[in-house]
Amino acid sequence: MADTRSPIIFPHRHLLGIEALAAPDILHLLDMAEEAVALSRQVEKKRSILRGRTQINLFFENSTRTQASFEIAGKRLGADVMNMSVANSSVKKGETLIDTAVTLNAMRPDIIIVRHQESGAVDLLARKVDCSVVNAGDGSHEHPTQALLDALTIRRNKGRIEGLTVAICGDVAHSRVARSNMLLLAKLGARVRVVAPSTLLPAGIDRLGVEVHRNMRDGLRDADIVMMLRLQLERMSGAFVPSLREYARFYGLDEEKLAYAKPDALVMHPGPMNRGVEIDTAVADGPRSLITEQVEMGVAVRMAVLEALAQHLPN
């Protein structure tokens, strides 16, 4: 990949969030990811950019999909990938995050991929290690590779991001996917809307440069992209919304609500889906769904991120 492209150097050692990225950084990563898509569709998928490098996937929260995606991305680039199962580690026995970071650092990894249930935890860990760190999701804060893969998916289907109207619907309050997407899409010039019942909108959302809507009809009107968010099951029964069926009735995406959007509007979901809750099966599996393509783009974007960060690794 790298040999054919202009020698732009990605100006960050870590990828902790979209917030720190400028638009050219984002576009550069998307361009690199396009090449990774092509590579991944070949029979011979293996590259050697990360040969000899050690990548640790450190997941404090269970995630089959994201962890698998990072693992495949690392392996396609030639890295030795180690998945650290936190459930069986000393972290569960009370070791602090910083002690874990220092311990792992001593094993001299080159890249650590971290997911943690607390906002800011990945940032904290990154300060304590010498290697590159990729945020695979921290609390309700950021999930930058998800926003990048969403952007890549949109760009491949719509040809652009600038000027599009993107409606992000559902549990915005607790969603790191929503935060990273709001930041990224705004940086690339999209019009971003959030659509949710007020109990699932965080305080001060109106000051984040997005349009705020409380019903799907207004929120989806003339939208080019409808991005659904996962509703955590524990938030469904009475705490934030009265019931699952009420949520599905007013905020679940079905054909009827999708009709409010543009005729050529496309549907996205970061997965895993609650079918029949935030998204109807007919829509999820329908012709306007990009959900499976998002998964493919996930591997490509993560390969691009790893390659970009590899530019900073010592030889």
Catalytic residue set: 65-66, 93, 115, 143
Which run of H or E residues covers position 54? strand 54-59
- Asked if 142 touches other proteins (CB under 8 A), the answer is yes
Of 110, 123, 278, 280, the one binding other proteins by CB under 8 A: 123
- Asked if 140 touches other proteins (CB under 8 A), the answer is yes
- Asked if 198 touches other proteins (CB under 8 A), the answer is no
Tokens of 192: 């971003």
How many residues make contact with other proteins (CB under 8 A)?
A: 23
| DSSP assignment letter at 221 | T
- Asked if 200 touches other proteins (CB under 8 A), the answer is no
Strand order in the sheet with 54-59: 80-85, 54-59, 111-116, 132-138
Helix axes 291-310, 144-158, angle to 10 degrees: 120
Of 22, 38, 98, 106, the one binding other proteins by CB under 8 A: 98
- Asked if 23 touches other proteins (CB under 8 A), the answer is no
- Asked if 136 touches other proteins (CB under 8 A), the answer is no
Helix axes 64-76, 291-310, angle to 10 degrees: 50
CB nearer other proteins, residue 138 or residue 224: 138
x/- track of binding to other proteins for residues 168-187 (CB under 8 A)? --------x--x--------
Tokens of 216: 């799907």
Helix axes 176-187, 144-158, angle to 10 degrees: 50
Of 64, 88, 207, 315, the one binding other proteins by CB under 8 A: 207
Instruction: Please give the Cα distance from 142 to 17 (Å, whole number).
Output: 6
Instruction: Please give the Cα distance from 52 to 50 (Å, whole number).
Output: 6
CB nearer other proteins, residue 76 or residue 174: 174
Q: Please report, as ranges, the residues that interact with other proteins according to CB under 8 A.
A: 96-98, 116, 118-121, 123-124, 138-142, 176, 179, 202-205, 207-208
